[in-house]
Structure 1
Amino acid sequence: MQLTRRTALIGLGLAGASAALPGRAQEAALPAIRVGTLENGTVSWELQTIIKRGFDRANGFRLVPMVLAGNPATQVAMQGAEVDTIVSDWLWVAQQRARGTGFAFLPYSTAVGGLMVRPDSPARTLADLRGKKIGIAGGPVDKSWLILRAWSREELGEDLADITQQVFGAPPMILNAAETGEVDAAINFWHFQAKMQARGMRELISVATAAEALGLDPATPLLGYVLRDDWIAANPALATGLARASRAAKELLASDDAAWEDLRPLMEARDDAEFQALRAGWRAGIPVPGPVDVANAQAMFATMARLGGDELTGGVAALPEGLFWSPE
């Protein structure tokens, strides 16, 4: 009797395993969307959520992250068709499209930074930074820096670049320079700004506020998934599925604090304050659903192009037609 019962249990186990196999086989048979990403990039927060919650499989595909060494490597992989998508800014996508690549842009994030100072800084306005040193991540054509320069021209009648000294460097270097007082103010990528805020630094002015004062729409997404026109045409259901999976992940992370616990190891926050600041910053960058307002994007492009010139635009005079893609 004991042998019979043991045999029955083994049989049930095998039956359960057999029943599970078709599900796994079906998942393996789903078409893959290969996304080029960075090991510690903030994009991985959304990608992991999509995979862990099954938003890819629910929309008819398997999301396959391909970890690459840096942003230039992701762009090269996209140009070489080694991946199906990456996340990049629409200025790069516009340059590529103008050169005939057929790249298109699906909104991912509106996140931008601001100008940060230490809590003991006497500065209260941009005018107070006259003669001071500003640390800037992203280089001379950083989009946040260009918008703040345009705002200072309007509000102060002077270009911020002319009345301050600038130090350009990688985001961690700018963070450290701001903390140690090597620079008097800093403009950093949004997730490093979140860390700066968590460590007590103060925002003098946000890029969103400056953009609004210039008549621009800060809700214009700057970062997005890059897709190919021919890939979209050949795989319309996959392209729509990616858009829907991305939106589902955003809606979950926007409303469910518990969903962020899975992401803590990826976020590398040194304490709860930093974790909460990173979460709030990511949420603030969630774009509204629906197509991009092309006129608003063109206005933002024109403002940045006036100051950034060909180094920023790559010689593109206007955003090319068909740049922004939406499944709606």
Structure 2
Amino acid sequence: MNFLRHFVTVCALALMTMPALADQDLPKLRAAMLATGTVNWEISTIQHHELDGRNGFQLSVLAYADNGATRVAFEGGEADVMVADWIWVARQRAAGKDYVFLPYSLAVGGLMVKADSGIETLPDLKGLKIGIAGGPVDKSWLILRAYAKQVFDMDLAAETEQVFGAPPLIFKAALSGETAGTINFWHFMAKMKAKGMRELVSVADAAKALKLDPDTPLLGYVLKGDYVANHPDIARGLYMASREAKDLLRVDNEAWNAIRETMNAADDAEFSALIAGYRAGIPSGKPIDEAAADRFLRIMADLGGEDLVGKATTLPQGVFLHLE
């Protein structure tokens, strides 16, 4: 009887430790992430719901203070994956680096004005100040410049005054009225909407007017081609975990409550606006229209020049990773 009791106890302990051992045995995917980036909402959801383990890998997050540091970690081999826009990936491929892009989000910016500003169209901004996050080659700014030229025959750069700065500073300048118009990252735009500002024109609408595909995801996970070739199951596991996290965040409000502390929402209005903004940026999952992406890149090359696209004046082959 004592032997039987001992045997049952040993078996029970073995079963209890099996999941932990299995987790330890899973291949690790090292992700270099911006510590304050919105991608962390998805990453936290993946980890909280163990979507990485269910898809055959263990996600290990390395947090960095800025995007430059994440790129150094990725390019130097300290990390296996990072987040960037596909324009940057195209630039790297044109320079001979075998980087590939796995779509993450199509959330892009737009141009915001105060609700009572009286500004109704872009020409109303002539002679006024526009605050722009991201610098002179910010992609939202360049798309809006192309849109202004096509629709209003307006040189937005020449006919307005631009102030460039970090997203939080541009956000504050918008609220204070220091700038008449503001182009900022989507999550700051969501916060501005929560504060009563309105969107004059979205980059998505501008893209449609320019015959581009607004369903082309701008942001994505970036991996090296040889890593994908050597670890195809992990690459697909990342894709599946990301999609499952999005499916959860698309419909489940409780999933958002679990990550609210990481979202830096000042109040319920901002929290709701951030959720709506994230959900609006979830890609449809349709195959990427590479012809439309090529047209987008040509516009970026024309307006942003080599400072933005390097040698990538047309879409290099192999930018987008297809795992379906």
Say whether 1:186 aligns with 2:182. Answer: yes
Matches within 5 A, 1:79-94: 79-94=75-90
Secondary structure, aligned partner of 1:34: strand
Aligned to 2:17: 21
* TM-score of the aligned structures, taking structure 1 as reference length: 0.94
List gaps (5 residues or longer) in structure 2.
Answer: none
Residues 290 and 326, structure 1, Cα contact 8 Å, conserved in 2: no
Structure 1 partner of 2:100: 104
The Cα of 1:291 is off from its aligned counterpart by 3.1
Say whether residues 1:37 and 2:55 are aligned partners. no
* 1:246 corresponds to: 242
Equivalence for 1:280: 276
Quick one: distance in 1 between partners of 2:280 and 2:256? 15
Name the stretch that deviates more: 284-293 or 110-119: 284-293
SS in 1 for 2:17: helix
* Preserved contact between residue 109 and residue 140 of structure 2 (Cα < 8 Å): yes
> For each residue in 1:85-131, what CA deviation from the matched residue of structure 2 results, as whole angstroms up to 9, or x when unmatched?
00101111111112222100000000011110112201011011010
* CA–CA distance in structure 2, aligned partners of residues 204 and 123 of structure 1: 8
Kindly indicate whether residue 73 of structure 2 is the aligned counterpart of residue 77 of structure 1: yes
| C-alpha separation in 2, matches of 1:99 and 1:311 | 13
Sequence identity percentage: 53
Q: Distance in 2 between matches of 1:79 and 1:191?
A: 27
Question: For residue 131 of structure 1, what is the aligned residue in structure 2?
Answer: 127
Q: CA deviation at 1:14?
A: 7.8
Letter in 2 for 1:94: A
Once residues 265 and 136 of structure 2 are traced to their aligned partners in structure 1, the CA distance between those partners, rounded to angstroms, is 28
Aligned residues: 321
The equivalent of 2:226 in structure 1 is 230
Q: Which moved more, 1:283-292 or 1:115-124?
A: 283-292
Contact 1:97 1:323 in 2 (8 A): yes
2:264 is the alignment partner of 1:268: yes
State the 1:19 CA deviation. 2.5
CA contact (8 A) 1:291 1:324 kept: no
- Matches of 1:143 and 1:191 in 2, distance apart? 16
Alignment-mate amino acid for residue 182 of structure 1? E
CA distance in 1, matches of 2:320, 2:135: 26
Q: Distance in 2 between matches of 1:285 and 1:167?
A: 26
Task: Map Cα deviations across residues 13-35 of structure 1 (whole Å, 9 max, x no partner).
Answer: 88655432111011111001111
Selected match of 1:50 from 24, 46, 51: 46
- The one-character-per-residue Cα deviations of 1:154-209 (angstroms, maximum 9, x if unpaired) are 11112111110000000000000011111111000000100100011111111111
> With structure 2 as the length reference, what TM-score do the two structures score?
0.95
Name the counterpart of 1:310.
306
Deviation at 1:11, TM superposition (A): 10
Q: Specify whether residues 180 and 84 from structure 1 end up closer, same or farther in structure 2 by C-alpha distance, changes over 3 A only.
A: same
**3-state SS, counterpart of residue 196 of structure 2:** coil
Q: Look up the SS of the partner of 1:63 in the other structure.
A: strand
Aligned to 1:326: 322
What is the alpha-carbon distance in structure 2 between the residues aligned to residue 285 and residue 12 of structure 1? 52
| Contact 2:123/2:154 (<8 A) preserved | no
Q: Note if contact 1:34-1:84 (Cα within 8 Å) is conserved in structure 2.
A: yes
Aligned with 1:76: secondary structure? helix
2:29 is paired with a residue of what secondary structure?
Answer: strand
- Code of the residue aligned with 1:89 in structure 2: it is D
Residue 111 of structure 1 aligns to a residue whose secondary structure is: coil
Distance in 2 between the 1:176 and 1:326 partners? 40
Instruction: Report the AA paired with residue 318 of structure 1.
Output: T
Aligned twin of 2:157: 161
Contact 1:291 1:325 (8 Å CA) reproduced: no
CA offset digits 1:214-262 (Å, max 9, x no partner): 1111111111100111111111111111111110001110111111001
Q: Is residue 221 of structure 1 aligned with residue 224 of structure 2?
A: no
Contact residue 50 and residue 249 of structure 1 kept, 8 A: yes
Contact residue 94 and residue 311 of structure 2 kept, 8 A? no
User: Which secondary structure state, in structure 1, belongs to the residue aligned with residue 37 of structure 2?
Assistant: coil
SS in 1 for 2:100: strand
Q: Which one-letter code corresponds to 1:157 in the other structure? A: D
Provide Cα deviations, 1:266-303, integer angstroms capped at 9, x if missing partner. 00101011001001111111112143211111111112
